[in-house]
Chain A
């Protein structure tokens, strides 16, 4: 039985043979039931593209609409296992909305399979897929150079594709690459070594998947840079359990490092601390738990903790109200500076306002260019101002604590995915400083009588327009003015100001 679980992303452009490859992988790992095989034989005769043989691509085509069109339009999940490992494969379609699908599939992936057609060579799409997967934190890649039959089984064609991708991936830092020449349609180097390409001295695809590093027991963590027990524990609280007056437990999935009974923890948002009194894991009462485990803890004395709080061991992270992040935009309506969304990170939510769009990524050059907006399937770097303090970690350190989603407050759809790159710590210990220049001193200097004009009315009634005209007139008379516009002030000091 499998002792490990590996999450894999498969990406390729249309017609590279991804469906064929996945179908074959399922078939050869005995993951296809007999009656499905019978249906496949019938489907292959009706819709197949492989004359006189089984068309494995039909095994993995799902929705009726896409079977008619012959294209996949959404991420699909496939399951197979070997005696050693259980695999979850996210099958991300390559063409339409590929960024959105790729990002979704890559968010949890430990390994990405990049498919290229040997005859066509590395396409722009493939380069983009590689860029997106590495931005999403994937650190292990398998390059499947497919359709080697069409390239005459030529080692040089294979080497050319491998070197192009290796050079590209090198730009994303420490990334592991395994390249495999393949004929998915006939099964060469999928699970069986190919006699026709005996020159390949690397593993088959299945062997490469079995050899890939399973990062940690944590389903969502990247490859750890420090041993797990050294990393500080983070418990984002999902629920407070209060079955009776005697028990008050905090339930959540443990992130970061291990947590044990007796550990001192701090509610990172409030700064209050306590010790772990009891720890209940999936198998009941326990002394300690590791990252990725669903636990419930009780504390040795009562402190205020609710959903969205994070119980943390030292070093305790600081809450923040300003972050910089890479955002993958997924909605038909653009992201603009000044727009506010609901941000969900871990179990916490708050309103986030876009204060700056620092750039939009040109996936071909893998570099940011200036931009005023982000459209669907674009990736940009933005600064967000948060209405409430939140605890976040850099995405590069921890995917689970650094990734967030943006939700449209009206449609409630998930419109963006964010990866925290920079955290601006919140100022602590702020005192009021008395200043000597007051209202009377300023009035005397200006030689004018101070006055406040307050425009009230419904949103959209024309307050800002009138205020602007009034200010122009006063200015023309040489009077000093200052306008505080409702929308403008929400960009800065008053970012947490509501609309009701």
Chain B
């Protein structure tokens, strides 16, 4: 339960529940974008609250690039079983056939094929008219202007000029044929809010968020955890155990860990209060071009 000294979270929680319900009420086939990370865990928790005692009325969709940490997949399957959820997993078959991977392909090509294209395929195949995601405006400058209900044109393209003004808590979910919605109930949350809420509500997250000795190689200053034997080590690189944790989770060869001793939630929160490295700094895909997030969004990256 939210403690009185973090009462601002009650307001954010109520707002998010309202948004999740609006998304469900205004859509024929909504789906929850489940990326297994902390934001997805909070989103799922809110979706379960929003419809209780009824079950979550939509399935979860996970875009599996096949390069996720094994702990993430284990956590995903355990969560789905525990709460009796419906899960739809999709991998881009063209990408698989062409063996697209984070070593031979540059990060932006890899992301486009295994994430952006895969997501579009899965949304089209499922006939989903509304995808509910855990993105937050605070995460990145290009997101500061994102709407809570964001309209995507045919082909899932995002056109900043066509975004609707959003007033009060009135969300216009009307779509023309071919248009879909992205809905972001956590828009107004910060990383700190997310962790504080996870602690207050006792939400389970992937253990990778907590420090533990893990096999690490250091590459261009980034700490990469070697999750399986597909990792291509460069000459001279030998994985060595180090106490690390993740602030943001994705494909293991592209996720940088941080050196940390924070092995539980209170320690993570204390460390966050002290440190000020932004969480996306651990995602190597954002660095390749200026304003890269905006470019990816225009293409339909979540």
CB within 8 Å of B: which residues of A? 1-5, 30, 32-37, 60-65, 67, 74-79, 81, 85-86, 88, 91, 100-101, 103-104, 107-108, 217, 219-220, 238-239, 241-243, 247, 249, 251-253, 280, 282-284, 292-294, 296, 307, 330, 342, 344-347, 399-400, 403-405, 407, 411-414, 417
Residues on B with beta carbons closer than 8 Å to the beta carbon of A405: 167-168, 170, 172
- Inter-chain CA distance A280–B141, complex, in Å, is 37
Instruction: Please report the C-alpha to C-alpha distance between residue A225 and residue B274 in the assembled complex, in whole angstroms.
Output: 42
Q: Which of B144, B168, B179 contacts A220 (CB 8 A)?
A: B168
In the complex, A36 Cα to B280 Cα: how many Å?
Answer: 10
Min CB distance, B58 to chain A, in Å?
A: 12
Given contacts A34-B276, A79-B138, A417-B167, contact A243 B54 (CB under 8 A): yes
**Is B165 in contact with A88, judged by CB distance below 8 angstroms?**
no
Inter-subunit contact B4/A77 (CB<8 Å): no
Q: Which of A64, A249, A296, A403 contacts B294 (CB 8 A)?
A: A64
Note all chain A residues with C-beta closer than 8 A to B145.
62-63, 74-77
Chain B minimum-CB-distance residue to A403: B168
Instruction: Tell me the B259-302 residues at the A interface (CB within 8 Å).
Output: 275-279, 281, 290-291, 294-295
Residues of chain A with a CB closer than 8 A to B172's CB: 344, 405, 407, 412-414
Pick the 10 closest A-B CB pairs, nearest first. Answer: A33-B278, A294-B17, A243-B54, A64-B291, A5-B8, A412-B174, A107-B167, A76-B144, A86-B8, A414-B164
Candidates B4, B54, B179, B278; contact of A241 at CB < 8 Å: B54
- Distance in angstroms between the alpha carbons of A78 and B3 in the assembled complex: 24
- 8 Å CB contact of A33 from B55, B168, B277: B277
Q: Identify the closest chain A residue to B278 (Cβ).
A: A33
Say yes or no: A238-B25 contact (C-beta < 8 A), given A1-B6, A67-B291.
yes
Determine whether B137 belongs to the interface, using a CB cutoff of 8 Å to chain A.
yes
| B238 contacts partner chain A, Cβ-Cβ < 8 Å | no
Please, which residues of chain A bring their CB within 8 A of the CB of B52? 280, 284, 296
**Bound CA span A413–B159, Å:** 13
Tally of B interface residues using CB under 8 Å: 63
Write out the residue numbers on chain B whose beta carbons fall within 8 Å of the beta carbon of A75. 145
Complex: A35 Cα to B6 Cα, angstroms: 27
Q: Which residues of A contact B50 (CB under 8 A)?
A: 251, 294
Measured CA separation A3–B4 after assembly (Å): 6
Q: Does B18 contact A (CB under 8 A)?
A: yes
Using A32-B276, A400-B168 as known contacts, say yes or no to A251 and B21 having CB atoms under 8 A apart: yes
Residue from B142, B165, B294 with most neighbouring chain A CB atoms (10 Å): B165
A243 shortest CB reach to chain B, Å: 4
Counting CB contacts under 8 A, is B24 at the interface? Answer: yes
Pick from B17, B55, B190: contact of A282, CB under 8 Å: B17
Hey, which chain A residues are within 8 Å of B179, CB to CB? 412
A35 to B137, CA, bound (A): 17
